[in-house]
Amino acid sequence: MINVKMTVNGKPASGSVEGRTLLVDFLRNSLNLTGTHVGCDTSQCGACTVHVNSKAVKACTIFAADADKSDIKTIEGQANKDGSLNFIQQAFQDYHGLQCGFCTPGMVMVAVELLKSNPKPTEAEIRNYLDGNICRCTGYHNIVKSIMAASGQDVSAIAA
Amino acid sequence: MGVNTYIEACGIAPSNFVGVLGFRVGLYDAATVRVNATGNISVMVGAHSHGQGHETTFPQIVSELLGVAEESVEIVHGGTAKTPFGMGSYGSRSLAVRGSAIVRATEKIISKSKKIAAHMLETSEVDLEFSAGAIRVAGTDKSVSFGEVAFKAYVPHDFPHEELEPGLEESAFYDPANFIYPAGAYACKVEVDPETGKVKICKFTAIDDFGNVINPLIVDGQVHGGLAQGIGQALLESCVYDKNGQLVSGSFMDYLMPRATDMPQFTVDHSCITPCIHNPLGVKGCGEAGPIGSPPAVVNAVINALQSGGHTHVTHIDMPMSPSRVWSAINS
Amino acid sequence: MHNFEFLKPSTVKDAVAALDTEDAQALGGGQTLIPAMKQRLAAPKKLVSLGGIADLQGVKISGEVVSVGGSTIHAEVAAANVFSGLKLLAGGIGDPAVRNRGTIGGSLANNDPAACYPAAALGTGATIITNTRKIAADDYFQGMFTTALHEGEIITSVTMPVPEVSNYQKFEQPASRFALVGVFVAKYADWVRVAVTGASEDGVFRWSEAEAAFSASFSADALSDLSLDACGMIEDLHGSKAYRANLVKVLAGRAVSAAS
Ligand SMILES: Cc1cc2nc3c(=O)[nH]c(=O)nc-3n(C[C@H](O)[C@H](O)[C@H](O)COP(=O)(O)OP(=O)(O)OC[C@H]3O[C@@H](n4cnc5c(N)ncnc54)[C@H](O)[C@@H]3O)c2cc1C
Ligand code: FES
Ligand code: FES
């Protein structure tokens, strides 16, 4: 077993893992942070997306041991300090950016990364950035709209 | 450019009719509306919600009928051991069939409330009107609130128990009189790259008549997701088996799930409203419209694009119209 | 997935020493190796992560040469001020999360027949530098999933001569987002290189007829009399041999048009 220490959503977290323990399993099973989902386990769907040292990565495709000493952010750490939804989460709620919600944690984590580097993305830029995130419910329409709205753009012209 | 119109028989279904067809089930649905002593309401339904928004739409029905806040209505689902027996969520039936059962059960709540109110106000229930969360003696200012009635129902110190049962909880089973018939017209504009066969959807518009719409945001969302499924079927998705029966599209490395870049921005419109005439909500189903209406529109658009680009010999391409299939059709 | 011993050394020397046992394997970004291990297509007894070695990181641009450290992630190359074909290629690999983990060393060591980096390496005449030697791209790629690397050898960096103009055209396999076909074209003062990925059963290859045609005239029209033999192309549910051969020609033409 390997002892790992990370900062997860700003708090120290540690545990003992096998070499093969995936980061997503460490987060979900050892830290009980089950907001990060596992949709495919084959690195395709993006439901497991978290930030490792400020970069969006698929937590099903990185070993917990390889993330030792890293700064991890998950969907559980996205709300504002007072517990209210952050601006991206709020936009998802306002614009019906989720239906079953399975893909949503990954979508939000990718959107957070996108808006950090590109605060006013175009529709095409948003769609490109979501290339690693699959949604079966929404047809992406309201996800894209939510992210545009979160970036402060006027979405009233976007059809329902 | 491709156009498709459809009409669907859904909201399944009259049990008498499906019996004749040989189905070995009835296709009614059921709901229990439980008004608790505190005035908040639990609605038990026999079908699961997994993203369709039952928890949002069903409370709207109860809220409007009883004049209570939507937030005070909780939908309980997820196991028919604890809810009335239900027939499930499919066939665009949740609102038309289960929603109607909720209406019927809520109507029973109203009628029981009037009985209790009549007792409280020492009047006859025929003189009472139920509106905006209160029960009034018609033409007077005498009234009791729905909350008071609910409380009384569970603290029935002075009830004539032979005639009036305590509690405020009712169930209804609703068996539809007919199918429902949503209809729509869909249009799709595509660009085909003749050198690679790649199809790009430039614009997609879906207009449906779903009858009365209870929650426009949810209905639009159902159509968006359905369009992605239908466009996926037309252009991308398929289970492919090799000669030995081995599934070769067994993971998302080979099974083509639509991604955000595969989809256009949709335009959907539900302003054409012809209410259904035989269910109490006047609603038709919206869950399956997208995947029914969109594939023919996409296929028609691709064939139309190829023909207007001079490839008049192309009259048919099997779905999914992958780039290689489109290219092969052009070059056949 | 079978369990394994996990090590994360901080120097190339320690990594090489750790890899010097049977069934030990290097771990880059894991974007290929981890999925393969989940399917038990790979089952190393020891994994040596190269992610902790500072010397393997980063992009250096010095005059005529771009040098990319073996553990540099795709996103870093895409963000760097490198020549346009390379920037385009790195920025188009997979999706953002894959680009935040996957490395050039892993991509070249794996040599997937549908991977992008092999086209850049072969298309620029890169030099693959390992802990023991320098290998010319022309000698490095030896058929799909096969390279000149020895067991335990680590790619420490890759140097690419900067072309006058370059472009990469990728036609995505629509499910995996790998290249169904990808064509890298690079023009130098006296020659043009054209490298093709995704198409051939032998993995990445140089299309020499197109190189000759483009060297004579650097325009898409130069291809008009050429055709590529479909025999030897990959055929799968996403496209036939003939379809792939067609794509190679179309994309080569587009790459030249986009580059010039
Ligand atoms: C969803 C998805 C989409 C993708 N799309 C594309 C795409 O469009 N184009 C594309 O080119 N690739 C694509 N990839 C693959 C991706 O680029 C991988 O990152 C890359 O192929 C492997 O790099 P890695 O660093 O992840 O290596 P790993 O997976 O860690 O390792 C791969 C192999 O290389 C060896 N290795 C790793 N580093 C070194 C080194 N420095 N020296 C020697 N050997 C080493 C390992 O032992 C292993 O055998 C995709 C992957 C995924 C999951
Ligand atoms: S679970 Fe990680 S990408 Fe799907
Ligand atoms: S909301 Fe259900 S998968 Fe995206």
Parse chain B into domains and list their residue ranges: 2-7+179-330, 28-174
**Residues composing chain C:** 260
- Token output for B170: 């009712």
Whether residues A61 and C101 touch (CB distance < 8 A) is answered with: yes
Distances (CA, A) of A150 to A88, A140, B302: 5, 15, 35
- Rounded distance between C-alpha atoms, residue C14 and residue A12, angstroms: 29
Q: Is C227 on the interface with B (CB under 8 A)?
A: no
- Token output for C140: 């490095």
Q: Is C219 on the interface with B (CB under 8 A)?
A: no
- Token output for B50: 């997994």
Whether residues B259 and A130 touch (CB distance < 8 A) is answered with: yes
pLDDT for A79 beyond 80 = yes
C57 lines ligand 1 (CB under 6 A): no
* CATH class belonging to B2-7+179-330: alpha beta
pLDDT score for C63: 84
For residue A57, report the distance from its CA to the centre of ligand 3, in Å: 19
Report the residue of chain B nearest A103, measured CA to CA.
B51
Nearest CA to CA, how far is A50 from chain C (Å)?
9
Ligand of minimum distance to the alpha carbon of C95: 1
CATH number for the domain harbouring residue C169:
3.30.390.50
Residue nearest to atom 4 of ligand 3 (CA): A135
pLDDT score for A158: 84
Ligand of minimum distance to the alpha carbon of C98: 1
pLDDT for B187 beyond 80 = yes
β pairing state of B266-269 and B198-209: parallel
Reported confidence tier of residue B79, pLDDT bands at 50, 70, 90: confident
**Residues composing chain A:** 160
Whether residues C27 and A66 touch (CB distance < 8 A) is answered with: yes
- Rounded distance between C-alpha atoms, residue C72 and residue A90, angstroms: 35
Whether residues C31 and A63 touch (CB distance < 8 A) is answered with: no
Mean pLDDT score across all residues of chain B: 96
Q: What is the DSSP string of A96-129?
A: T--SS-SSHHHHHHHHHHHHHH-SS--HHHHHHH
3-state secondary structure of C241: helix
In this structure, the dihedral spanned by the alpha carbons of residues A123, B264, A58 and C130, taken in order and rounded to 10 degrees, is -80
β pairing state of A2-8 and A71-73: parallel
Cβ partners under 8 Å of residue B30, min gap 6: B45, B46, B84, B85, B86, B98, B101, B171, B172, B173, B174
Domain ranges of chain A: 2-77, 87-150
Nearest CA-CA partner of B27 in B50, B6, B9: B9
B254 interaction partners in chain C (CB closer than 8 Å): 175-176, 237-238
Query: Is the domain covering A2-77 a CATH 3.10.20.30 domain?
Result: yes
- Rounded distance between C-alpha atoms, residue A80 and residue A90, angstroms: 11
Dihedral sign for Cα B308, B310, B312, B318, please. negative
pLDDT score for B80: 85
Reported confidence tier of residue B78, pLDDT bands at 50, 70, 90: confident
In 3-state terms chain B splits into helix, strand, coil percentages (rounded to 5) of: 35, 20, 45
Report the residue of chain C nearest B235, measured CA to CA.
C174
Q: Is A158 on the interface with B (CB under 8 A)?
A: yes
β pairing state of C24-27 and C46-49: parallel
- Rounded distance between C-alpha atoms, residue B55 and residue C13, angstroms: 60
β pairing state of C155-161 and C65-69: antiparallel
CATH topology of domain B28-174: Aldehyde Oxidoreductase; domain 4 (3.30.365)
3-state secondary structure of A3: strand
Dihedral sign for Cα B150, B155, B157, B161, please. positive
Give backbone dihedrals phi and psi of C201, rounded to 5 degrees, phi first. -70, -15
CB neighbourhood size of B307 (10 A):
13
Query: Mean of the pLDDT values across residues C42-58?
Result: 97
Query: Is the domain covering A87-150 a CATH 3.40.190.10 domain?
Result: no
For residue A133, report the distance from its CA to the centre of ligand 2, in Å: 9
- ipTM summary value: 0.96
- Token output for B174: 């609703």
Query: Mean of the pLDDT values across residues C199-220?
Result: 97
Nearest CA to CA, how far is C181 from chain B (Å)?
11
Report the residue of chain A nearest B265, measured CA to CA.
A141
Report the residue of chain B nearest A159, measured CA to CA.
B267
pLDDT, one tens digit per residue, over C140-172 is 999 999 999 999 999 999 999 999 999 999 999
pLDDT, one tens digit per residue, over B9-22 is 999 999 999 999 99
β-strand partners of B190? B201
pLDDT score for B155: 97
β pairing state of C46-49 and C5-7: parallel
How many Å is the Cα radius of gyration of chain A? 16
* Residues C32 and C110 grouped into a single domain: no
CATH number for the domain harbouring residue C37:
3.30.43.10
pLDDT, one tens digit per residue, over A5-33 is 999 999 999 999 999 999 999 999 999 99
Ligand of minimum distance to the alpha carbon of A40: 2
pLDDT score for A157: 84
Nearest CA to CA, how far is C95 from chain A (Å)?
5
Q: Is B322 on the interface with C (CB under 8 A)?
A: yes
C129 lines ligand 1 (CB under 6 A): no
pLDDT score for C71: 98
Nearest CA-CA partner of C71 in C10, C132, C20, C21: C10
A38 lines ligand 2 (CB under 6 A): yes
Q: What beta strand segments (E) does B181-319 contain?
A: 183-193, 198-209, 266-269
pLDDT score for A160: 65
Nearest CA to CA, how far is C14 from chain A (Å)?
17
Residues within a 6 A CB radius of ligand 3: A 98-104, 135-138; B 51
**Residues composing chain B:** 332
A39 lines ligand 2 (CB under 6 A): yes
Ligand of minimum distance to the alpha carbon of C72: 1
* Residues C65 and C24 grouped into a single domain: no
CATH number for the domain harbouring residue C72:
3.30.465.10
CB neighbourhood size of C217 (10 A):
12
- Rounded distance between C-alpha atoms, residue B66 and residue B130, angstroms: 8
Q: What residues make up the domain containing C208?
A: 165-259
Query: Mean of the pLDDT values across residues A105-128?
Result: 97
Report the residue of chain A nearest B52, measured CA to CA.
A99
Mean pLDDT score across all residues of chain C: 97
Give backbone dihedrals phi and psi of C49, rounded to 5 degrees, phi first. -70, 130
Q: What single-letter DSSP state applies at residue A49?
A: E
pLDDT score for A159: 72
Query: Mean of the pLDDT values across residues C226-233?
Result: 94
- Rounded distance between C-alpha atoms, residue A26 and residue C134, angstroms: 40
CB neighbourhood size of A40 (10 A):
18
- Rounded distance between C-alpha atoms, residue A35 and residue A49, angstroms: 10
Q: Is B328 on the interface with C (CB under 8 A)?
A: yes
β pairing state of B73-76 and B41-45: parallel
* Residues C45 and C62 grouped into a single domain: no
Distances (CA, A) of A53 to A10, A71, A73, A113, C52: 12, 5, 8, 11, 14
pLDDT for B151 beyond 90 = yes
Q: Is A146 on the interface with B (CB under 8 A)?
A: no
Burial track C155-192 (b if 16+ CB lie within 10 A, e otherwise): bbbbbbebbebbbbbbbbbbbbbbbbbbbbbbbbeeeb
Cβ atoms B87, B26 nearer than 8 A: yes
Whether residues A132 and C38 touch (CB distance < 8 A) is answered with: no
pLDDT, one tens digit per residue, over C117-146 is 999 999 999 999 999 999 999 999 999 999
Give backbone dihedrals phi and psi of B11, rounded to 5 degrees, phi first. 60, 45
Cβ atoms A20, A6 nearer than 8 A: no
Of B240, B253, B324, nearest to C240 by CB-CB distance is: B324
Cβ atoms A110, A132 nearer than 8 A: yes
What are the strands of the beta sheet with B143-145, ordered from one edge? B128-131, B134-137, B143-145
- Token output for B72: 């005070």
Q: Is A154 on the interface with C (CB under 8 A)?
A: no
pLDDT score for B201: 97
* Cis previous bond, C119, omega within 30: no
pLDDT score for A17: 98
* H-assigned helices in A9-86: 23-25
- Rounded distance between C-alpha atoms, residue B68 and residue B207, angstroms: 33
Whether residues A132 and C37 touch (CB distance < 8 A) is answered with: no
Distances (CA, A) of C89 to A84, B147, B290, C201: 40, 66, 36, 21
- Rounded distance between C-alpha atoms, residue C181 and residue C246, angstroms: 10
Q: At what angle do helices C241-259 and B323-330 cross, to 10 degrees?
A: 100
- Lowest mean pLDDT, pick from A134-138, B83-87, C15-19: B83-87
Q: What residue type is B62 in one-letter code?
A: V
Burial class (CB in 10 A: 0-12, 13-18, 19+), B18: middle
* Residues C21 and C70 grouped into a single domain: no
* Residues C236 and C170 grouped into a single domain: yes
* Residues C169 and C155 grouped into a single domain: no
Distances (CA, A) of A99 to A102, B157, B307, C64, C174: 8, 46, 39, 52, 25
Query: To the nearest whole percent, how much of chain C has pLDDT over 90?
Result: 98
The ligand 1 atom nearest the CA atom of C102: 19
